[in-house]
């Protein structure tokens, strides 16, 4: 017991010093003008993820990880509040990614401990480190075809394409070579993860991709820990159908902006693919009804995100109940999901009227 405690403390101290050194180097290079704001930010991003890859090696308790991640959260918050962390805060867009990053690392480690799936944890952290960085740097250097996410926040098709390529390659090779998954299952699962996480990244605002990417990867991998080709094919078909059925008609009817349509399509996919097609129908009907009621600013993707938050949590909650306890009852869950759509509309409308 005593030796375990000493080992955890030594690991925490060593990892804190390592991560602090990475932060110091990034801040020095940024203040000297050697790195651009995006480059210094991604240096710290990769460095933080690199340190997080050592969590399963150094720690046996999630409390140690909570202390480290909580400490860096407070440090980043304090320095950013006083404008002293140039390596993170010099980007033009408003972002909370620096604060969300340690939170995401802890949540991923917690999931890995609960499900005993540390290989999935490593995949999620590598995707966050390398795919997100590749997308940002390729988009900054070579991005020509840009699309608007919200306000002044733009992404590039080149960046999103490289995000998908890097994610697919990472997930496929690790599942194949480390986890020992069959080649066809590994390829299909990597493709599904690449598409879904790329869509999440393409519409994330304010650094939310630092949470959406790793948690999304972990959730998909855990759900498909014992892959079934028929189930994965059904999921891919549901996603394609949701994108076609939602995005094309909404585009023709001029319902929402492009990013808002993608968020709606993702919620439709999660609702119909994980539970019932009727949930997807309710989601589409609710989105169209809200648009024509003209009571909310649906041109802003932040509003669409706010509307989708509670239904998303309901979908994931019922999915978790089914996976952990084997409980599933559409006669109960369907009215609850419908109620979550109504509550979201009423809450967001009341907020916007303030």
- Higher pLDDT pick, 37 / 282: 282
pLDDT (average), residues 117-136: 89
pLDDT (average), residues 321-335: 77
pLDDT above 70: percentage of residues in the chain? 88
- Measure Cα distances from 159 to 30, 91, 163 in Å: 23, 17, 6
User: Which of 199-208, 212-221, 248-257 has the highest average model confidence (pLDDT)?
Assistant: 212-221
How sure is the predictor about 91, in pLDDT bands with cuts at 50, 70 and 90?
low
For the stretch 220-275, pLDDT in tens is 888 888 888 998 988 888 889 888 888 888 778 777 777 778 888 888 888 887 77
Report the alpha-carbon distance of residue 317 to residue 2 in Å, rounded.
Answer: 38
- Specify the range with the lowest mean pLDDT, choosing from 20-29, 91-100, 242-251, 337-346: 91-100
Q: Is the pLDDT of residue 188 over 90?
A: yes
- The alpha carbon torsion through 290, 268, 319, 111 (nearest 10 deg) reads -100
The pTM of this model reads 0.86
Burial of 142 (C-beta count, 10 Å sphere; 0-12/13-18/19+): exposed
The structure tokens 């403390």 sit at 9
Tokens of 136: 């940002």
How sure is the predictor about 352, in pLDDT bands with cuts at 50, 70 and 90?
low
In DSSP notation, 252-300 reads HHT-S-HHHHHHHHHHHHHHHHHT-HHHHHHHHHHHHHHHHHT-S-TTS
pLDDT confidence of residue 167: 94
- Measure Cα distances from 266 to 4, 59, 67, 203 in Å: 44, 35, 34, 10
- Higher pLDDT pick, 314 / 91: 314
Q: Is the pLDDT of residue 200 over 80?
A: yes
Q: How many other CB atoms are there within 10 angstroms of residue 309's CB atom? A: 15
pLDDT confidence of residue 353: 67
pLDDT confidence of residue 241: 87
Q: Is the pLDDT of residue 346 over 60?
A: yes
Give the domain ranges of the chain: 230-354
pLDDT (average), residues 46-73: 85
- Higher pLDDT pick, 293 / 16: 16
Mean per-residue pLDDT over the chain, rounded: 81
How sure is the predictor about 321, in pLDDT bands with cuts at 50, 70 and 90?
confident
The DSSP call for residue 150 is: E
- Higher pLDDT pick, 143 / 66: 66
pLDDT confidence of residue 27: 74
Report the alpha-carbon distance of residue 314 to residue 276 in Å, rounded.
Answer: 13
Q: Is the pLDDT of residue 87 over 60?
A: no
pLDDT (average), residues 45-49: 82
- Measure Cα distances from 183 to 84, 174, 220, 261 in Å: 48, 11, 18, 34
pLDDT confidence of residue 327: 73
How sure is the predictor about 194, in pLDDT bands with cuts at 50, 70 and 90?
very high
pLDDT confidence of residue 151: 62
- Higher pLDDT pick, 72 / 297: 72
pLDDT confidence of residue 94: 65
């Amino acid at each position: 017991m005593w030796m375990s405690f000493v080992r955890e403390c030594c690991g925490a101290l060593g990892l804190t010093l390592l991560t602090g050194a990475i932060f110091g180097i990034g801040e020095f290079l940024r203040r000297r003008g050697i790195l651009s704001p995006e480059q210094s930010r991604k240096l710290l991003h990769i460095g933080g993820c690199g340190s997080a890859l050592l969590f399963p090696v150094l720690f046996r308790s999630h409390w140690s990880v909570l202390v480290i991640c909580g400490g860096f959260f407070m440090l980043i918050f304090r320095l950013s509040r006083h404008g002293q962390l140039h390596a993170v805060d010099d980007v033009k867009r408003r972002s909370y990614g620096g604060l969300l990053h340690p939170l995401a690392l802890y949540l991923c480690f917690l999931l890995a401990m609960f499900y005993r799936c540390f290989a999935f944890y490593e995949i999620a952290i590598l995707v966050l480190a390398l795919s997100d960085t590749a997308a940002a740097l390729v988009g900054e250097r070579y991005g020509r075809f840009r699309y608007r996410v919200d306000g002044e926040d733009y992404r590039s098709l080149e960046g999103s394409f490289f995000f998908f390529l890097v994610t697919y390659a990472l997930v496929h090779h690790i599942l194949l070579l480390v986890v020992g998954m069959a080649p066809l299952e590994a390829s299909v699962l990597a493709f599904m993860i690449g598409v879904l996480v790329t869509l999440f990244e393409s519409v994330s605002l304010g650094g939310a991709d630092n949470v959406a990417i790793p948690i999304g990867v972990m959730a998909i991998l855990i759900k498909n820990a014992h892959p079934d080709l028929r189930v994965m094919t059904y999921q891919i078909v549901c996603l394609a159908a949701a994108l076609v059925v939602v995005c094309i008609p909404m585009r023709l009817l001029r319902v929402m902006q492009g990013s808002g349509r993608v968020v709606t399509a993702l919620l439709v996919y999660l609702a119909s693919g994980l539970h019932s097609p009727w949930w997807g129908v309710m989601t589409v009907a609710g989105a169209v009804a809200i648009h024509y009621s003209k009571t909310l600013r649906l041109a802003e993707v932040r509003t669409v995100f706010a509307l989708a938050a509670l239904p998303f949590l309901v979908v994931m909650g019922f999915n978790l109940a089914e996976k952990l306890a084997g409980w599933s009852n559409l006669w109960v869950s369907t009215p609850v999901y419908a109620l979550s759509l109504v509550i979201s509309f009423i809450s967001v409308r009341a907020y916007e009227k303030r």
